[in-house]
Amino acid sequence: MRVIWSLVLVGALAAIAFAGSRAGGEAVFAVAVPYLALATFLVGLSARVIGWARSPVPFRIPTSCGQQRSLPWIRSSRLDNPSTGLGAAGRVLLEALAFRSLFRNTRAELREGGRLSYAADKWLWAAALAFHYSFLTILLRHLRFFAEPVPGFVALLQGLDGCFRVGVPTFYVSSVLLVVAAGFLLGRRLLDPKLRYLSLPADYVPLVLLLAIAASGLLLRHVYKTDLLAVKDLAVGLVTFRPVVPEGVGGLFYVHIFLVSSLFAYLPFSKLVHAAGIFLSPTRNLANDNRRRRHVNPWNPPIVGHTYAEWEADFHDKLVAAGLPLDKE
């Protein structure tokens, strides 16, 4: 049911763009909506990150998967249990680039006789990795519309991505991987009863939206081909703040650009903001040095000390009268 609502929502967005552009709202969908979406994305994301930056650093949580640094003759695990900031940075970088936490994903199953078994489940990790890197490749490939002259690495990336040279225009490896991986991530939520029970519309909407974006993009490239020069005019106009409304690009193009705008505007307010949040994972980005470095919480009350010298001064006369020895002589 929750996935149906997500489908309805994304379908409604697509219908709005299609009908709206047909009804003469081309300028709205080609210029106003992308600018608004980008502004929402930038301001929303910055607000989220600034909010996190204003929060105190939590106490270091040593959820480690390796030997802590201790005695010099015990080999410590520098990346899994870092004792320095550099090691922690390496752990965050590996998490962001290789998704090591997902690599540790396990699957619990009830076997016959009521025996519970856990087994490694790497499919989530593999699909997530395939999805994210395909998405990055596709995002970078779209630079060919925004930049003139196009940076050299875009041609290199396209060459690698289309190395199988299947069909004209070439089918890209990243297009296929993105659809397959996102389809797997959606299917996983739908087919596993435990995951279906846990999944909310907020889990389905991003996946359905991404699949709809991929579908509209693939259709625009391979089936209902649009006028790419007009698209480039629009993209270049947008980034140079001299927007032009393209002509003859078709309703499907407006569906694509509206869904992408929706994704960008939605990102800061949804689970997709993990793109920024992953760098602030407290169990990943803090070195395990609790025993060596003092942790000061900003809400700790100031420590009011009273030294022996001060105490002696307070009771000086009484100490002298009692004939007790004084430090201050």
The answer for residues whose C-beta is within 8 angstroms of residue 5's C-beta and 6 or more apart is 201, 204
Given 66, 126, 133, 227, the residue binding other proteins (CB under 8 A): 227
Given 72, 114, 298, 301, the residue binding other proteins (CB under 8 A): 298
147 near other proteins (CB under 8 A): yes
Choose the stretch contacting other proteins; rule: CB under 8 A; options: 62-70, 122-130, 203-211, 292-300: 292-300
Residue 257 CA to residue 33 CA, distance in Å, equals 9
Instruction: State the minimum distance, in angstroms, from the CB of residue 14 to other proteins.
Output: 22
In order of 43, 141, 145, 240, 270, the CA distances from 243 in angstroms are 21, 21, 14, 8, 29
Question: For helices 2-22 and 201-222, what crossing angle results, to 10°?
Answer: 40
User: Cis before residue 169, ω within 30 degrees of 0?
Assistant: yes
Given 97, 106, 169, 192, the residue binding other proteins (CB under 8 A): 169
Given 72, 75, 118, 297, the residue binding other proteins (CB under 8 A): 297
Given 95, 161, 203, 233, the residue binding other proteins (CB under 8 A): 233
Given 7, 36, 49, 176, the residue binding other proteins (CB under 8 A): 49
Residues paired with residue 109 on neighbouring β-strands, in sequence order: 117
Choose the stretch contacting other proteins; rule: CB under 8 A; options: 45-53, 71-79, 117-125, 314-322: 45-53
Residue 272 CA to residue 7 CA, distance in Å, equals 18
Residue 133 CA to residue 59 CA, distance in Å, equals 33
Given 11, 19, 39, 46, the residue binding other proteins (CB under 8 A): 46
280 near other proteins (CB under 8 A): yes
Residue 157 CA to residue 138 CA, distance in Å, equals 9
302 near other proteins (CB under 8 A): no
Instruction: State the minimum distance, in angstroms, from the CB of residue 8 to other proteins.
Output: 31
The answer for residues whose C-beta is within 8 angstroms of residue 119's C-beta and 6 or more apart is 106, 107, 109
- Kindly state the tokens that stand for 64: 């480690």
52 near other proteins (CB under 8 A): yes
Where does this chain bind other proteins (CB under 8 A)? Answer: 42, 46, 49-50, 52-57, 143-150, 154-155, 158-159, 165, 168-169, 225, 227-229, 232-233, 235-236, 239-240, 276, 279-280, 295-298
